Amino acid sequence: MSEQQNNSAATRPETVIAARDLTKRYGKTSVVDAINFDIAKGEVFGLLGPNGAGKTTTILMMLGLTEISAGRVSVLGFDPARQPLQVKRRVGYLPDAVGFYDHLTAVENLAYVAKLIGLPMAERSRRIAAALTRVRLLDVADKRVATFSRGMRQRLGLAEIIVKRAEIAILDEPTSGLDPQATIEFLDLIRELKAEGVTVLLSSHMLDQVQRVCDRVALFRAGKIALMGSVAELSVQVLGAGFVVEVEADGAGIARRLAAIPGVGNVETLADDRFRMTADRDVRADAARAVVASNGALRRLSVDEPSLEAIYARTFQATPSGGVRDAA
């Protein structure tokens, strides 16, 4: 019956998660303070922010694992506070620092979850084998989880979501503590999920990775969403422009010529021969032409793609340093 619901809704651009004034209070302090967001089907959405900004609490509220103080959230059209089983049947969750039963094997751990989901026996073993193959853990399927590295545990957690055939995967800090190679592999798996049409919600404070996989991000600050949008949108909004091009060249009047290029907002002279331009597009070709046209010697031309790190830094610096009042 649930499939029918989804089919009927699939015709319009679908919002799978919608939060309205979602609030969580412990006593008088609001951990999550009236946040609003919509997540569309099939997108990878990043929740970003320092520790304690309310990301995990938001996730737990979406799963009905913690009470909502005010506002509402709907997940796939269900209210997690009232219909938690419907929500949890369709949403896979990989908690921060996921734990498994160490004395059981990978297969046994997944089988337990599959039983809790209510899968019949034959279906269970088929799905588990397939999921373990996907996350490349098939050769250690019958090893006890106690021997697994952190990266393997995270992949096993992802296998659980695959076994569940979740429509939404919620991953809380999935790559923290992983080595670079494991991180890259994990991000590839997330992309695979996205390619299958799974909506992925990713919480992280590792900006670089979030930027690599997320379609849109929300920046959390002290329980509020400070910014939301795609990385490109945010960079325009926060940094004032999307691209920063640095030019190292000798020649007379280069700064003037660079400033004249259409799309360039501002040219800073860093040194006699170094200039930094902010522009709303990639203006490297024009800059090169401008330097050459002025008979200058072009030595270096580099572009900083809009970086989440810069956006993040700018956003969190913007908090008045004297304002300790609600520094969470």
Could you say whether residue 63 binds another protein (CB under 8 A)? yes
Q: Which is nearer to another protein, 94 or 290 (CB)?
A: 94
- The helix-helix angle for 150-164 and 121-134 (nearest 10°) equals 140
Helix or strand run (H / E) with residue 239: helix 231-239
Could you say whether residue 91 binds another protein (CB under 8 A)? yes
Could you say whether residue 173 binds another protein (CB under 8 A)? no
Q: Which is nearer to another protein, 72 or 284 (CB)?
A: 72
Q: Which is nearer to another protein, 10 or 101 (CB)?
A: 101
What is the smallest separation between the CB atom of 95 and another protein, expressed in angstroms?
4
E strand map for 86-167: 91-94
Query: Which of residues 58, 86, 175, 203 is near another protein by CB under 8 A?
Result: 86
Q: Which is nearer to another protein, 164 or 216 (CB)?
A: 164
Query: Which of residues 3, 7, 12, 118 is near another protein by CB under 8 A?
Result: 118
Class of residue 28 by CB neighbours under 10 A (exposed 0-12, middle 13-18, buried 19+): exposed
Beta-carbon-side half-sphere exposure of residue 268 (alpha carbons within 13 Å): 8
Which of these segments, 112-120, 128-136, 210-218, 225-233, binds another protein (CB under 8 A)? Answer: 112-120
Query: Which of residues 65, 259, 288, 328 is near another protein by CB under 8 A?
Result: 65
Q: Which is nearer to another protein, 97 or 260 (CB)?
A: 97
Could you say whether residue 136 binds another protein (CB under 8 A)? no
- The answer to whether 278 and 238 have CB atoms below 8 angstroms apart is no
Cα angle, residue 135 at apex, residues 131 and 140 outer, rounded to 5°? 90
Which of these segments, 32-40, 84-92, 132-140, 239-247, binds another protein (CB under 8 A)? Answer: 84-92
- The helix-helix angle for 106-117 and 121-134 (nearest 10°) equals 130
- The answer to whether 86 and 78 have CB atoms below 8 angstroms apart is yes
What is the smallest separation between the CB atom of 164 and another protein, expressed in angstroms?
8
What is the smallest separation between the CB atom of 60 and another protein, expressed in angstroms?
6
* Rounded Cα gap, residues 107 and 162, in angstroms: 13
In single-letter form, the type of residue at position 47 comes to L
Query: Which of residues 36, 50, 52, 112 is near another protein by CB under 8 A?
Result: 112
Give the strand pairing for 274-279 and 243-250: antiparallel
Nearest in space to 151 (alpha carbons), one of 182, 123, 176, 189: 182
Token pair listed for 73: 């959230």
Query: Which of residues 49, 74, 160, 209 is near another protein by CB under 8 A?
Result: 160
- The answer to whether 52 and 96 have CB atoms below 8 angstroms apart is no
Which of these segments, 43-51, 52-60, 222-230, 241-249, binds another protein (CB under 8 A)? Answer: 52-60
Could you say whether residue 157 binds another protein (CB under 8 A)? yes
Contacting another protein within 232-271 (CB under 8 A): none
Query: Which of residues 70, 85, 184, 318 is near another protein by CB under 8 A?
Result: 85
Q: Look up tokens 């890259």; give the residue.
A: 184
* Rounded Cα gap, residues 324 and 328, in angstroms: 9
**Helix, strand or coil for residue 298?**
strand
Binding-site size for another protein (CB under 8 A) equals 33
Which of these segments, 58-66, 179-187, 190-198, 211-219, binds another protein (CB under 8 A)? Answer: 58-66
Token pair listed for 187: 């991000």
Give residues in contact with another protein (CB under 8 A). Answer: 56-57, 60, 63, 65-66, 82-86, 88-89, 91-95, 97-103, 112-113, 115-118, 157, 160
